[in-house]
Structures are given as structure tokens and as C-alpha cells.
Amino acid sequence: MSPARGLILGIESSCDDTAAAVVDEGGTVLSSVIATQTAIHAEWGGVYPEFASRAHVASIIPTIAKALADAGTDGPSLRAIGVTRGPGLIGPLLVGLNTAAGLGMGWGVPVIGINHLRGHLRSADLEQQRVRFPAIILLVSGGHTFLARMESPGDITLLGSTRDDSVGEAYDKVGRMLGLGYPGGPAVDRLAKTGTPNIPFPRPLLGEGLEFSFSGLKSAVSRYMDRTPPPADVAASFVEACMAVLLTKCRRALQAWPSRALVIVGGVSASPQLRAGAQALCDELGVELCLPPLRWSTDNAAMIALATWDYLRLDRPPGTAPQLNLSIGDY
């Protein structure tokens, strides 16, 4: 057993990636292994839950073993195991939770259930300690789209979330309409750069409040496809509509609650258009923009491991029961 016991193993299996990583308290990533299931789900144009569960079962032990070996440590030496307990797909979550529970018992190491959304939030501090408070958080992923205000890691208030689809879901569906495969986000962004944003797609709820809605935009793109427009112009116009909505809401939140930082996390934070637009907004408002390094924008276990350190300060950290309905303020 190592004398330091200063490392956490993170395990993430909430959706279509089996991931394990070893991270220290400062956010240094000693190892990160991701077994992606993209090829399995590509045929269906989205995640097929039962196939996801089976792929997690097959890859979770080798993924964890490689993460430990790459970090040069072993199970019994760990300070704790942090494993995603929700939100996510129930079958995939149970694979991660049950595996972690068994390993923790065998190794004599505590196992803590982690809120996936808090993982994304901490991704901005991986390999860098940058998030300053108070901060406005924009979380944009395949499962979620919301704005929150953060006074400290323990004090988070939800300001507004989507009433229907997430922005990542809209990207994935538009990607499918354009025949770009799954996931749609990166491919839509690339195609958008080659087109002209000349189609007036709607910008839902642009003029009011901090809530979002993306299903009407998605349907508008679907209807417009009947006119067989140039795909690159569709992508460019769709991305421009998304950016107008996301950045207008960020501006509104920053103006209502003056903050030191704007933190943008979740898979869609990999978008170069969003990164550039957010940088321009933050420069104008004199706010620091905190983005995760690109490789930590999409689902990974390093963010889960880093979030686990916050949970060690709780009197009674959550255990390994799945919890599908967690909000950003929950542990």
C-alpha cells in the first residue's frame, strides 16, 4: 500500500462511454482510459441502451485495470473510488455502480456515488485550477442544457434549463438529417464552417428569461430539408441560431448576477463556434472564461474523479444506489 493514499479512481458509465481515470487532489490526471461505443450505436443514430449496458459489462474491468496500471498504482492504495450514480441510463449506471461497489469492498476502499453534472462542472479545473467564484455556469451536453449560478462548490442555484430537448440532442438530430452520422456535434460544426448562415431558423425564447427550448429549432430544420437546401448552409444557419440563443442567455445571466467567471462545460463546450463566441462575450464584459481542455469536454472519468474530492468533505457522501433525477445542486 502506498503511504500517500492521495489518488482517486473515477469510473463513468452513464451513457455510451466506459471510462476510468486516476486523478490527484490538484486535478492532475495520472491516467484516463475511455472505451467508446460510437461504432456500436452509429447504426441506430443514437444510443441503444441495452447494447450500451452489454458493452459496459464487457469493457469495464479491462478499462479500470488499464487506468490503474497507466497511473502506476493499485486498487488497495487508493484514497477512494468515485463512480457516476446519475443522471444517465439505468442499465449502464448499474454496471459502473455494481463494479465499483465490488472492487471497493475487495480492496477496502470507500466508494462514493457521484452526480455526473458535478463531474462536468469540475472538468474546467482538470490540469488547471481556474474557476473563480461567483461564477455563471452554462452546462451544454447531450442530456442537459442549463444555466446556474455558483457561489462556491457547495452553493449552486439553477437559473434556467431547457423545456424540451438539450442543445446536444438538437445537434445530433440535425447531424442525422444531414446524413453526418452519430454523434452529430463535431460533424455539424465542421460542415457549418464551410457554409453561409443564410436560412432564418427560429431562435427559441431568445428575448425572454434564462430557459431554453430546442425542439422547435430542430423541427424547423427538419421542415426546411424538404426544399433540399445546401447542407453546409443548413449546418451554418443551425449553428448560428444555437449560438445566438446560448450566448444571449449567458449575457443575460452575467448582467443579472455580476460574476468573476463564465464556466462552460459538457460535450457541446467542445464546439469551436461556442468557444470563440463565449470568448468575445467575456472579453467585452470583463469576465474570465473557464473552459475544460478539449479532451475533457465530452464524457470522461477524470472529471468524476476530481469531483469525488469535494464529496470527501461531506459528512455522509452518497453510496452506490443509482439516482436518475439529480440536479446540478445535488451531490
Q: Give the span between the Cα atoms of 265 and 262, in whole angstroms.
A: 10
| Nearer of residues 79 and 120 to ligand KG4, judged by Cβ | 120
Q: Which partner in ligand KG4, Zn ion, none is near 318 (CB below 5 to 8 A by kind)?
A: none
Q: Which of 245, 270, 289, 326 binds ligand KG4 (CB under 6 A)?
A: 270
Angle at 133 between CA 128 and CA 135, to 5 degrees: 95
Give me the DSSP letters along 112-144. Answer: EEEEHHHHHHHHTTTTS----SSEEEEEE-SS-
Residue 19: beta bridge partners? 12, 34
Burial class (CB in 10 A: 0-12, 13-18, 19+), 124: buried
User: How many residues of this chain interact with Zn ion, rule: CB under 5 A?
Assistant: 2
Among 86, 92, 113, 168, binds ligand KG4 (CB under 6 A): 168
Residue 141 near Zn ion by CB under 5 A:
yes
Which range touches ligand KG4 (CB under 6 A), out of 33-41, 56-64, 178-186, 309-317?
178-186
Per-residue exposure over 125-150, b if at least 16 CB sit within 10 Å of its own CB, e if not: bbbeebbeeebbbbbbbbbbbbbbbb
Which of 38/157 has CB closer to ligand KG4?
Answer: 38
* Cell (9 digits) for 205: 425564447
Is it true that the peptide bond before 183 is cis, omega within 30 degrees of 0?
A: yes
Site residues for ligand KG4, window 184-243 (CB under 6 A)? Answer: 184-186, 189
Asked if residue 268 binds ligand KG4 (CB under 6 A), the reply is yes
Q: Decide if residue 271 touches Zn ion (CB under 5 A).
A: no
Give the Cα-Cα-Cα angle 268, 187, 200 (nearest 5 degrees): 80
Please select the residue that binds ligand KG4; options are 27, 92, 119, 183, rule is CB under 6 A: 183
Contact set for ligand KG4, span 272-301 (CB under 6 A): 298-299
Asked if 8 and 79 count as a contact pair (C-beta separation under 8 A), the reply is yes
- The site map against ligand KG4 for 123-162 (x = CB under 6 A) is ------------------xxx-------------------
Span near ligand KG4 by CB under 6 A; candidates 48-56, 93-101, 151-159, 167-175: 167-175
Task: Tell me how far apart the alpha carbons of residues 150 and 137 are, in angstroms, rounded to a whole number.
Answer: 7
Q: How far is the CB of 192 from ligand KG4 (least distance, A)?
A: 9
Binding interface with Zn ion (CB under 5 A): 141, 299
